Amino acid sequence: MARLTAEFWVQAYLARLRFQDIPAFVTAHGDDTAGAVLVKLNTLDGDAQAFHRTYDLMSGARTWDQLASGPEGEVDASIRRQQAFDPDLWVIEVEDRQGRHLLDEPGLE
């Protein structure tokens, strides 16, 4: 089965966020072809969440799971640890006071 490149997925995700007037920025540009993607949701109140995509080997389903949650500094530290482990990692920061990240919408799995 053909897979989308990481860069293509990131650009499509950013476009979908822009369409909903949700600000988002690439804070770390990973490998264009096969880099993993991590999404940080900043609710602009001092707290944040980080999400990473997981893959269920049994069902083949892709889901977004929470990697970290809490004070923004702690979430940022968790993201830095992931970046140290995976230098090809993309990091997207979404800023939304309502907590919208759209990762649960069809087509973003």
**pLDDT for res 3:** 72
Domains and their CATH numbers in the chain: 6-95 (3.40.1530.20)
- As averages over each run of 10 residues, the pLDDT of the chain (109 residues) reads 82 96 97 94 98 86 92 98 95 98 86
> What is the structure's pLDDT at 93?
98
Cβ contact 11:35 at 8 Å: no
In sequence order, the 6+-apart residues with CB closer than 8 A to the CB of 45 are 97
What's the start-to-end Cα distance of the chain, in Å? 15
pLDDT attached to residue 92? 98
Q: Is the torsion defined by CA of 60, 18, 43, 76 positive or negative?
A: positive
- pLDDT attached to residue 60: 76
Report which residue type is found at 93: E
**So what's the pLDDT on residue 58?**
82
